[in-house]
Chains A and B, each alone.
Chain A
Amino acid sequence: MNKLVYWYHKLGSPPTFYRFAGVLRPWCLAIALILAVIGLYGGLYLAPADYQQGDAYRIIFIHVPSAWMSLFIYGVMAVAALVAVVWRMKMAEVIAMQSAPIGAAFTFITLCTGSLWGKPMWGTWWTWDARLTSELVLLFIYLGIIGLFHAFEDRRHGARAACFLILVGVVNLPIVHYSVVWWNTLHQGTTVRIFGKSNITTSMLWPLLVMMFSTKFYYAASLFGRARADLLDLESGKAWVKQIASDEEARS
């Protein structure tokens, strides 16, 4: 426990987090890429065509992991926002704000790939069904958070306001997740279950799970990169940042 508290304080300090993130970032990206190659080889090549959907179902290997990420990243932001609002921890604000564009990107990917999947299967690019609409609302919430953050002259005020918006927006998460259960929708129900049996054969399931881990590592790599750039901006008057600036000039 003492060790946990120690690391919590240690990583809460910008220069330590900067160095820590710089070391982990290339590893996270490398793992994400390796897993993506394995997952997509399994999904696009090894897995058989679906008996109903033919090869069109192969969009699942990016659509579903992206959809999971759109919710997962929001969950991370909600935890960070809570820490930021309660303890005014600077690092938590950075994590919450720098996650938002990545979450928005995954939500956008989910909507577009879903649309590309919907056209051949449902005969339409878009329908105002509960799952699709709530995912679109999630995209608007992400964009609202980014907009609110940038609307303030003082960035810490902006981050604080945006953190409150994050916490309010949490109500949308269960709506997205349970939309296929609560309403009659065109969207298919849950295929993969953590508890109990999944409605999918193993040769299709394992690439999906590998892609899920790949996108998680990608998120870590991207977040570390964005947080590092943001910390340099946030602390640009401090000695440690000036040191980095002059060191990089000397090297180039």
Chain B
Amino acid sequence: MNLFLDGIAWIFDPAHLNGPGGIWVRIGEQLSYTFGAVALAAIIAIPLGLWIGHTGRGRDVAVLTSGGLRALPSLGLLIIFALAIGIGFKAPLLAFVILAIPSLLSGAYAGVEAVDRRTVDAARAQGMTEWQVLTKVELPLGLPLLIGGIRSGVLQVVATATLAYFASGGALGVFINDGLKTRDYAELIGASIIVTVLALLLEGIFALLQRLFVPRGVTAGRISDVRSRPLRPRAVVGSPIQEGK
């Protein structure tokens, strides 16, 4: 446990916290990668995902592509970009955008698809246009899953952004690289603690957001019966999945 105490002591050393290459700056870089990459990925993936979910077209392609993208090792991807477009912040950012896309894409189409088809039919039968069906029915009801996708993308990138230092892109990985080189275990553990706490904080914030965005009525209880308990236990806000940490 002493190592962890050393790590914590390392974090709170003012010499490490402040200054141009200090902890605060690196945290800022880590978060910039996270939100920057997710925002860019969202611009591409969410409209595409909604379209796929609404029309049902291109679903198989989307499933296959996002499956394939998930299998990509994030470290390799990042390094390929670094070699191709040069070191700096662009290469990691691009790699992280690609990492975030599968989660956002599947969150968007799965959200729309998860909406009960009878509800959609009913909306259409009442005379809603396709646009209205999408924006007034499918989107609000699919929102929890969509946000889940964003959450999972954010967590994936915040964890993976640690690797940006391989492309000389800064962020918290710089400390880990330093610690590994100089065998400074306090620095290694300290930086690891910061990354983990950052990820847990974001996870908490998104868990809360997701809970807020479950439409009222969807979470309402269901009848029970001696014969059959409800097949689907009520929706529970769950946890994300990320691969390329």
Question: Do A and B come from the same complex?
Answer: no
Interface set of B (CB-CB < 8 Å, partner A) = none
